[in-house]
Copies of this chain bind each other. A is one copy, B any other.
Amino acid sequence: MYSFEALTKLFAEKFRDKRFSGAVPSLYEPAEYFLSLGGKRVRPVLCLMGNELFGQIHPDAWHVANAVELFHNFTLIHDDIMDKAVIRRGKPTVHAKYGEPTALLSGDVMMIMAYEYLSKVSPVYLHKLLAIFNKMAKEICEGQQLDMEFEKRSDVTLDEYIHMITLKTSVLLAASLQMGALLGGSGEGNQEHLYAFGKNLGIAFQLQDDYLDAFGEPEKFGKQPGGDILANKKTFLVIKALEVADAAQKAALLAHFSGNKPDKVEQVLQLFRDCKIDHWAQELKNKYLDTALFHLDEAAVTTIRKEPLRDLAHFLIRRQY
């Protein structure tokens, strides 16, 4: 069996060899540019790991892994247009470099190419894989729409927020694992456990991401914390703080989020700490991690085969407290 690192390297090599070209280079070059910016390739590797859990890697798992990675990158290209983001992975986003029309179209063609890879699998799996893939694909669009809606609302609840990040980011991890498991010959029960493992791991990862943006140590996190606070993003930290704060704290928080004082980040972080949001956030993250690991435990597979996935979970989510 491969470790996460080994599979990541293997996938990255195979994926890099795929060049997207066609009769209209100006359409495929932006797609190629974006893929060349790299990325962690977590999703395709989860598909391969979910597959390897049940035996040797099935040749079709590589097609599904490609499809999953292309679909993920398509969503990033379009999200960047919607969010007007000009930098990703330290480089200009596709629309910043090639203009919005071409970026939009390159995203479209990348989604079609994701389906093209998916269509390569053996007929015996095709129907089921398409059903999982289509459901996941629609949910990701729903998640992005909710995310944009939440930007304009001030009454988003914690449940709504978790639901949004589940759709926007977790279902792709979940579906990748499930599709890998399906190709490994896994029954529906095990597929559901793998899906639940991925879904809860994805939520824990997103919560950790929000947490680190606020409380991460700059030298480990790689950037100055407080970006979300400066951008007035309504992360789960803000939602919870507004829920538990007393009247004075709530007023102070709202004032910070409608202004841009020079000491805004420090002040908001202090308010978060006063409300014990940092502890609560870690506990919530751990709860989702534990639920993820529970589902991995429940999968009816020899414990030793689960080690790479367990290692990955602990690598992605650093348990604290």
Chain A 46-97 interface residues, beta-carbon cutoff 8 Å to B: 78, 81-82
B144 contacts A105, C-beta separation under 8 Å: yes
Chain B residues with CB under 8 Å of A116's CB are 134, 138
A183: interface (CB < 8 Å): no
Query: Shortest beta-carbon distance, A138 to chain B, in Å?
Result: 5
Residue numbers in B under 8 Å from A81 (CB-CB)? 100-101, 104
Q: Does residue A123 face the partner (Cβ distance < 8 Å to B)? A: yes
CA distance A187 to B197 in the complex (A): 46
A146 close to B112 (CB less than 8 A) = no
B126 close to A112 (CB less than 8 A) = no
Kindly specify which of A23-31, A170-178, A224-232 makes contact with the partner chain.
A23-31
- In the bound complex, how far is the Cα of B289 from the Cα of A62, in angstroms? 45
Please tell me which one of the listed residues B100, B108, B130, B142 contacts residue A111 in the complex, with CB atoms under 8 A apart: B108
* A249 lies within 8 A of chain B by Cβ: no
With CB as the reference atom, state the residue of chain B lying closest to A141: B109
Complex Cα spacing A116 to B141, Å: 14
Contacting pair A119 B130 (CB below 8 A): yes
Query: Is A145 on the interface with B (CB-CB < 8 A)?
Result: yes
Residue A22, interface by CB 8 Å: yes
Task: Point out the residues of chain B lying under 8 angstroms from A119, CB to CB.
Answer: 127, 130-131, 134
Chain B residues positioned under 8 Å from A130 (CB to CB): 115, 119, 126
A110 CB to closest chain B CB, in angstroms? 10
- The interface residues of chain B lying within 8 Å CB-to-CB of A131 are 119
Pairwise interchain contact A148-B23, C-beta atoms closer than 8 A: no
- The docked-state distance in angstroms from the alpha carbon of A310 to that of B225 is 68
Contacts A24-B145, A145-B26 given: A112-B127 contact, CB under 8 Å?
Answer: no
Q: Which residues of chain B come closer than 8 Å to A23, judged between CB atoms?
A: 142
Q: Is the interface of A mostly helix, strand, loop or mixed?
A: helix
Of B105, B138, B142, B148, the contact of A141 (CB 8 Å cutoff): B105
CA distance A266 to B141 in the complex (A): 48
Within the complex, the shortest CB–CB distance from A175 to chain B, in Å, comes to: 13
**How far, in whole Å, are A101 and B112 apart by their CA atoms in the complex?**
20
| Whole-angstrom CA separation of A100 from B101 in the bound complex | 12
Is A102 close to B, CB under 8 A?
Answer: yes
A219 on interface, CB distance cutoff 8 Å:
no
Asked if A137 is at the interface (CB within 8 A of a chain B CB), the reply is: yes
Asked if A141 and B112 make an inter-chain contact with CB atoms under 8 angstroms apart, the answer reads yes
Residues of B within 8 A of A100 (CB): 81-82
Other contacts beyond A26-B145, A27-B141, A78-B108: 17, CB < 8 A:
A24-B142, A27-B142, A81-B100, A102-B148, A105-B144, A105-B145, A108-B108, A108-B111, A109-B138, A109-B142, A111-B112, A112-B141, A115-B130, A115-B134, A116-B138, A119-B127, A119-B130
Q: Which 10 residue pairs are nearest across A and B when measured between Cβ atoms?
A: A82-B101, A27-B145, A119-B130, A24-B142, A109-B141, A112-B137, A116-B134, A24-B145, A112-B138, A108-B141
